[in-house]
């Protein structure tokens, strides 16, 4: 690689480090704020629960998009109505597939 390419890669890596590091410091500072050890642990537990909630919500996105694709399919790509009904009933009756 040329010197210019290496310099660009290093610059982008440095800016990415700043872009990721600064919000991380802010979140860490907020998560560990509090007057006592119990308050700090409660804030960390709250942060952990919010992250788990976000991961659970994000895990249901592919299922929701799949149902949307079945519901909005038209023309030659539209499924048989009976088959679509069975598929939707199956997906909606699986509590582990949809995060409510």
pLDDT at 26 over 70: yes
Confidence of residue 98 (pLDDT cuts 50, 70, 90): low
- DSSP string covering the chain: --HHHHHHHHHHHHHHHHHHHHHHHHHHHHHT-SSSHHHHHHHHHHHHHHHHHHHHHHHTHHHHHHHHHHHH--GGGPPPHHHHHHHHHHHHT-TTTS--
pLDDT surpasses 60 at 99: no
Q: What is the pTM of this model?
A: 0.46
pLDDT, residue 11, reads 94
| pLDDT at position 97 | 60
pLDDT tens digits for 38-82?
A: 888 887 888 888 889 988 888 888 888 888 888 888 888 788 888
pLDDT, the chain, mean: 83
């Amino acid at each position: 690689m040329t010197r210019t390419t290496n310099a660009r890669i290093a610059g982008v890596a440095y800016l990415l480090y700043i872009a990721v590091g600064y919000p991380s410091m802010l979140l860490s500072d907020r998560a560990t704020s509090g007057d006592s050890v119990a308050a700090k642990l409660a804030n960390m537990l709250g942060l952990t629960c919010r992250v788990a909630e976000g991961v659970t919500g994000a895990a249901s996105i592919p299922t929701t998009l799949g149902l949307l694709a079945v519901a909005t399919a038209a023309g030659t790509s539209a499924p048989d109505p009976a088959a679509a009904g069975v598929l939707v009933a199956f997906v909606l009756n699986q509590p582990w597939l949809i995060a409510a």
